Structures are given as C-alpha cells and as structure tokens.
Structure 1
Amino acid sequence: MRDKLEKKKDKRKSKISASRKLLLKSLMLAKAVEELDQENAEKEEEKSRYLAERVPPIRTSGLSFAQLQELCRELHDKIEIVDEERYDIEAKVIHNTREIQDLNMKVFDLRGKFKRPNLRRVRVSADAMLRALLGSKHKVSMDLRANLKSVKKEDKEDKERPVGDWRKNVEAMSGMEGRKKMFDAAKATPAQ
C-alpha cells in the first residue's frame, strides 16, 4: 500500500527540474523579444512604404524662385487641409471619449456602485397585494382571517390570584422592614 502511495507522489511531481524550467522560461522570453522586435520593424517598414505612396519625393533641383514659391504654397495648402482633417478627427475622438466615459459612469451607477440590501419578509395582506397587482380595479375584499377558528387562551394565574388592595402590602414589598414608618414619621415631625 505504501509503495502505491509513493508511486502516485512520484507521478504527481513534475518531471522537469527547476533549472530546466528556468531555461525554458528564458528561451520563451528571448523568443518573445525577438518577435516583438520583428513586429516593430514590420510596422516601420509599412509606415515608410505608406508615406512613399502618399507623399512623393520633392524635386527642388532645377526650379526657379517663382516655381519654388508656388511649390511652397501648394505644400502649405495641403498642410492646412491635413491639419483641418486632423483637428476634426481629434474633436470627434474627444467627443467619443467623453461619451464613452459618460456611458461608463451611467453603467457604474446602475450596476455596481450601490450594495444591494438583503431582502426581508414583508407582511402584506391579501387586499393590499390584490390592490398592488390589479390597481384600482380591485373591489372585492378578501378577509382570510374570518375563516380561521378563534381560540381563547385562559390565564390560570389570573384566576388563582385574588384581586386586592395594593396599598396594603406596600411595607412588605418595599423590603425596608419598618424603615418606611420611620421615614414617614420623620416627614410628619417637621411639618408640625
């Protein structure tokens, strides 16, 4: 039996040593860094290719002063158009981010901000329940308690104890053992 438990423990143990795990982690990290560098290089290459298509190289050699001025004016016009587009897009982005933040706040307010209280049992009569469900259409009253049997509980203690004058036992119940008389006597003496 003990041999079986030891074999199970051996099976559970990792077959890879700690140094081997560390080596594999370092190799995975190196591969990830290599792929990240390759991805960045591809992005830069794509960016340069896109710019080469959109913006042809400017040939300024052999142009006169007037032609250079005209070229500068064209470039300024294109820059203004691009700036306007950039400004419009930026304004749309700011508007959208504000709208997203507002919607997130509304969702946060509706969902997670308030702790939901534990529900408690509420006693509601049948009439009140029908009024809540049917509204003003409810005119029939259901008195469910009228059908119940009435049971009277008899107090045995009340029947056994005779009703008497409570003033008779004041001294006995006070526990003062005659001190009440002394107190009353002391009160009566200064009044004379």
Structure 2
Amino acid sequence: MSSSEEEYSSEEEYSSSEDEDSSEDEEAAKARMAEELAKRKVQLEEAQRKQAEIDMRKAEVRKRLEEQSAKKQKKGFMTPERKKKLRMLLRKKAAEELKKEQERKAQERRRIIDERCGVAKNLDGANEAELQTILREFHKRIIGLEGDKWDLEYEIKMRDYQINELNTQVNDLRGKFIKPTLKKVSKYENKFAKLQKKAAEFNFKNQLKTVKKKEFEMPEDDPNKTKPEWAAGPDAVKKTEGDALAEEAVA
C-alpha cells in the first residue's frame, strides 16, 4: 500500500469520527430541548391550574357577596338620607350626655367644696358675738385642714422613701449598681488658680502709686512753725524775756 492510500484512509476515518461526534451532539441538544419543553409544559399546566383555582374562589366570594347583598336588600337598605338623620340623632344624643356629665361633675365639685370648706354663713345683721363664733368655727376648720395636710404630706414622703428603698433593694438583687452623679471638676483648676495669683501679685506691684515725701513729713520739719521753749535753747529764752519786758514798759 502506498503512502497516498494511507493518507486517504486516515482522512476517511477522521471524517467518520467527526460525523459521529456531531451526531451525538445533535442528539444531546435535542434531548435537552425536549426536557426543557417538558418542564415548560408542566409549569404552564401548573400555572393554569392555580389560575383556575383563583378564578373559582373569586366566583365563590362574588356569589356569597351577592347573596348577602340580596338578603340586606330584603331586610331594608339604609339610604343616605337615613344615614344623615341617624348621624344627627347620635350627635344630639352625645351632646345631651356630655351636658349631663358636666352638670354632674359641677354638682359633685360643689358638694366636695361644701364638705371641706363649709357652707357660706349669712353675715347680714349678725352681732359681734355671732361673728366671733363664726370666726372660731372657721379657725377650728383651718387647723383641722392644716393637720390633715401635714399628715398627707408626711404619708407621701414615707411612701416615696419606701419606693426608693425598694428600688435600691431590687437593683442590689439584680446586681445593678447605680452610679451616683459626681461633680465635674477641672484638673487644671489648681494650675490656673496659681497662675492667676501670680498675675495678681505682679499687677499689684506695678499698680502701686508713687508717694511724695511731703505727705509723710513730720510736723516738726515745718520751718515756719515755732519751736517750744525747751527745744529752742538759751538764746531763744533770752529773746522771749526781752520781748516781755519791752511789752510791759510800753504798757
């Protein structure tokens, strides 16, 4: 067998193998397409079935509503005019009830005020003795009310204290510690205070006034003032004696 024949036979084998591969690929693609079509068909049938169920339910609900509306029409239908009239009657009734409730509250308030403060006394034509008795009654009532007020305030304080104690006990049992409120203090406060003190001293030294010497001179340093006899010396004593004799001679 020649080389050309061998090449021809190898080409035929290669072409036959390619044909077989292509046929297998086509068959696999067809199988996949068939599977996809089957899946789509199943999904479409499922969707149609669900839609049919939904339509059936809607029809049942519609039928039920129609039956209910028919029954209502048989019993009687509320027209808009009737609804408006009924609404007006309800509002009128509510206004009357509200007015009665307000009157009842006012009467109750008046009754409680009369019980606590007493009925107003008629002071027309009352003499001094009657006025004194009325004042004593009011004074006793005021003292009683003040005592009741003090008792109530004390009771409220005790209850607040008990509530606070119970809250602290509960927090202790739960293991919660309430952090107390602390006062905020600047850590640079002492440094600033020292600096301000030094600055104040420096300013005090600079702001001192210049003092004149005459302000602090003693009265002895005044040259115009005469000295006493004991400080003037013997010459001054002689002068004073001569002046005295001259004055006597003139006299």
The answer, yes or no, to whether TM exceeds 0.5 is no
Larger RCO (CA under 8 A, 6+ residues apart): 1
The structure carrying a bigger helix percent of its residues is: 2
Highest CA radius of gyration, 1 or 2? 2
